[in-house]
Structure 1
Amino acid sequence: MKNYIKDIRRSMNMSQEQLAVTCGVTRQTINAIENDKYDPTLSLAFKLSISLQTTVDKLFVFKEDAN
């Protein structure tokens, strides 16, 4: 799943740590999500969208495997 969290977060001049605190997770979790190493739960996806003042569908784009 592709995401635009880093782009939106940076446009808001927000650090990973600040986003993590508002979502109740660690900075490492935010880093893993931004680097496509971890797909967040639905609950966390909604927290991210609220914190970044956007919608879930603008944060995440489903991409199918090329297999």
Structure 2
Amino acid sequence: MYKLKIKEYRVKSGLTQKELAIKIGISQNYLSQLENNRYDIKLSMLFKIAKELNISPEQLFEHKK
């Protein structure tokens, strides 16, 4: 099972949910749901988020046992 670390990297980048959501073209509510792992993320969205946070897509994953 994997957990996404979107919030961790967003906070490190100094962005609010609203700011990041606007930059990647989604609602703040949807970003919140992604940060809380309530939805499966599309690969294209994963790449958009990683690009905006200046990280590789792989960095967004945390392996959970």
Report if TM-score (shorter chain) is over 0.5: yes
The equivalent of 1:44 in structure 2 is 45
Cα deviation, residue 12, structure 1: 1.2
Decide which structure has the larger Cα Rg and report it. Answer: 1
TM-score normalised over the length of structure 2: 0.87
Structure 1 segments of 4 or more deviating over 6 A?
A: none
The equivalent of 2:10 in structure 1 is 9
What CA distance in whole angstroms lies between the structure 1 residues aligned with 2:64 and 2:42? 17
What CA distance in whole angstroms lies between the structure 2 residues aligned with 1:22 and 1:62? 27
What is the identity, as a one-letter code, of the residue corresponding to 1:33? L
**Structure 2 unmatched ranges of 5 or more:** none
**Structure 1 unmatched ranges of 5 or more:** none
SS in 1 for 2:55: coil
Matched pairs, number? 64
What CA distance in whole angstroms lies between the structure 1 residues aligned with 2:64 and 2:43? 17
